[in-house]
Copies of this chain bind each other. A is one copy, B any other.
Amino acid sequence: MLTNIGSDRVRSVRALGRRAVREREALFLAEGQQAVREVVAHRSDSVKDLYVDPDAGTRHATMLEAARANGVSIRDVSPEVLAAMCDTKAPQGIVAVCRSIDVDLESVLDRHPKLLLILTNVRDPGNAGAVIRGADAAGADAVLVSDSSVDIYNPKVVRSTAGSLFHLPIVMGVPIPLMLDRVRGAGLALFAADGAGESPLADVDLSGPHAWVMGNEAWGFEPGVREACDSVVRVPIYGKAESLTLAVAATICLYASAALQRADRISG
């Protein structure tokens, strides 16, 4: 069992809390029971090392057995070592060091997606994670995150996706003008979601392949994004609220698309 919280290994895991280190090593952390369970279930190929303290080892014996059968290397560590490795204050006794899982934009577009979510300048980790979770629930084909957004491998983002990070393809690091250009070139319509958009959601034709574009939580879109989209669409506000949260607005838009596209597939 690893017990030395000052060891090089502990420090190299802990360093993955920093974006520069994550990018250099092409590694990130999945902390806690839910994230580890989901990465083992859906992307065990990406798990480099799994660290577990004795309590969590007992609690998650079945999952650990399955992980071992999939070739995952599991290391026993003391609770102090586990805590020293993690970003969160309550890491639940388990953490996985994972290889980056983002994919090329072209590999997503080659599969003729019907429904995509594009994030640009989304900066809050909790919001980014909640939006990815909503995209997963709505059955989106992928999430594309522009280079101006929060790092999706930030431990707070990973946690707040509630496992969805491992459920659908994620594209990262592409500048937004290029991203919009390529997605349009692949035959998808582009709909920017904005509380001040001119088209109410119910008036937009969502039957064809399309991407929803979501901007910054506070100030919306950088110059050029609205103009590059086919419509700027608003979820109507029927009461006196100023706005919806980013995750709620995005998920309402994606569900409107999913409901229509899936009804079309069944009836067509």
Residues on B with beta carbons closer than 8 Å to the beta carbon of A137? 235, 237-239, 241, 243-244, 248
Q: Could you say which interface size class chain A belongs to?
A: 20 to 34
A242 at the interface (CB under 8 A from B): yes
A242 and B134 contact, Cβ closer than 8 Å, known pairs A235-B255, A248-B248: no
A240 at the interface (CB under 8 A from B): yes
Most chain B Cβ neighbours within 10 Å, of A164, A241, A242 = A241
A167 to B243, CA, bound (A): 13
A162 and B251 contact, Cβ closer than 8 Å, known pairs A137-B237, A202-B259, A237-B137: no
Residues on B with beta carbons closer than 8 Å to the beta carbon of A134? 244, 248
A252 at the interface (CB under 8 A from B): yes
Tell me the minimal C-beta distance from A73 to chain B in angstroms.
Answer: 25
A84 at the interface (CB under 8 A from B): no
Residues on B with beta carbons closer than 8 Å to the beta carbon of A162? 241-243
B255:A133 contact, CB within 8 angstroms:
no
Tell me the minimal C-beta distance from A210 to chain B in angstroms.
Answer: 16
Residues on B with beta carbons closer than 8 Å to the beta carbon of A240? 42, 136, 163-164, 167-168
A240 to B34, CA, bound (A): 13
A140 to B162, CA, bound (A): 29
A118 at the interface (CB under 8 A from B): no
A238 and B138 contact, Cβ closer than 8 Å, known pairs A244-B251, A252-B252, A252-B255: yes
Contacting B at CB under 8 A, from A224-241, are 235, 237-241
Residues on B with beta carbons closer than 8 Å to the beta carbon of A42? 240
A98 at the interface (CB under 8 A from B): no
A162 to B248, CA, bound (A): 14
Residues on B with beta carbons closer than 8 Å to the beta carbon of A258? 238
A245 at the interface (CB under 8 A from B): yes
A133:B241 contact, CB within 8 angstroms:
yes
B168:A244 contact, CB within 8 angstroms:
no
A255 to B201, CA, bound (A): 11
A164 to B163, CA, bound (A): 31
12 additional contacts (CB under 8 A) given A137-B244, A139-B238: A133-B241, A135-B239, A136-B241, A137-B239, A138-B238, A138-B239, A162-B241, A162-B242, A168-B239, A245-B247, A247-B247, A247-B248
Q: List 13 A-B contacts (CB under 8 A).
A: A133-B245, A135-B239, A136-B241, A137-B235, A137-B238, A137-B244, A162-B242, A163-B241, A164-B240, A238-B262, A244-B251, A247-B247, A251-B252
